[in-house]
Amino acid sequence: MNATTTPKARGKWLPLRIALLLLGTVGPIVGVWYGYYAPSNDIAWAADFETAKLAAAETGKPMLLYFTSEW
């Protein structure tokens, strides 16, 4: 009998097997649940800076500037 077939050697990998089983089953279930039941993220983006500045001043909320470039 070699060391890899003893019950002690097989039990050494048990926590890893349990972790992989949980990640493989619980992970996708949580992902599907989040995809269906998470609140929507409906953000009303302004078309230009001045409009956004006025809306931020009226509501008292800070502005988030999002801009890109084609370099």
What integer best gives the mean pLDDT of the chain? 82
CA distance 19 to 10: 15
Which carries the bigger pLDDT value, residue 10 or residue 3?
10
**In this model, does residue 68 exceed pLDDT 80?**
yes
Q: Give the residue-averaged pLDDT of 48-65.
A: 91
The domain spans of the chain are 3-59
CA distance 17 to 58: 56
Whether this prediction's pTM lies above 0.75 is answered by no
Residue 47 · residue 53 · CB < 8 Å: no
